[in-house]
Structure 1
Amino acid sequence: MNGPAQLHYDTPEFDILRPGSYVLCAVSGEQIPLNELKYWSAEFQEAYRSAAEATAAMLAGGAGNLKK
């Protein structure tokens, strides 16, 4: 599948609820290929492109709390 996947994020893995080739970064909106996904939050059910974005989202209490 070439579209977005729907995942359930857990620790230390995630479950694929709907197959796809990528998820969107909760901070930047960039596509993250599933084979490159390394950062996510089980608490907030969000994926992140990098450690810096993951850290910023965690400190803010979720990406939705970050000022754009």
Structure 2
Amino acid sequence: MLMSSADRPATLSYGPNGFRVLTPGQYVACAVTGEKIPLEELRYWSAERQEAYASAEIATRRLLEQA
């Protein structure tokens, strides 16, 4: 079965001020919850861990796990 572009995950490289699309797609998965995050809604990530997060609360929780 062919996947539509809406079903394709993107591969990103996360930097401190933005991200770069390595493989085109419509979303990335939250590193904590697995929730699909549309690229146009992606606001939270870790450049150090190269992970995306669905919300500020989830990003903070992940940061505190390593503290």
TM-score (ref. length: structure 2): 0.87
Matched, 1:38 2:43: yes
Q: Distance in 2 between matches of 1:12 and 1:32?
A: 18
Q: Distance in 2 between matches of 1:50 and 1:12?
A: 17
Secondary structure of 1:26's counterpart equals: coil
Secondary structure of 1:56's counterpart equals: helix
Larger radius of gyration: 2
Aligned residue in 1 for 2:28? 23
Aligned residues: 61
Matched, 1:49 2:54: yes
What is the letter of the counterpart of residue 23 of structure 1?
V
What is the letter of the counterpart of residue 15 of structure 2?
D
Could you tell me the percent identity over the aligned residues?
56
Give unmatched runs, 5+ long, in structure 2.
Answer: none
Give unmatched runs, 5+ long, in structure 1.
Answer: 62-68
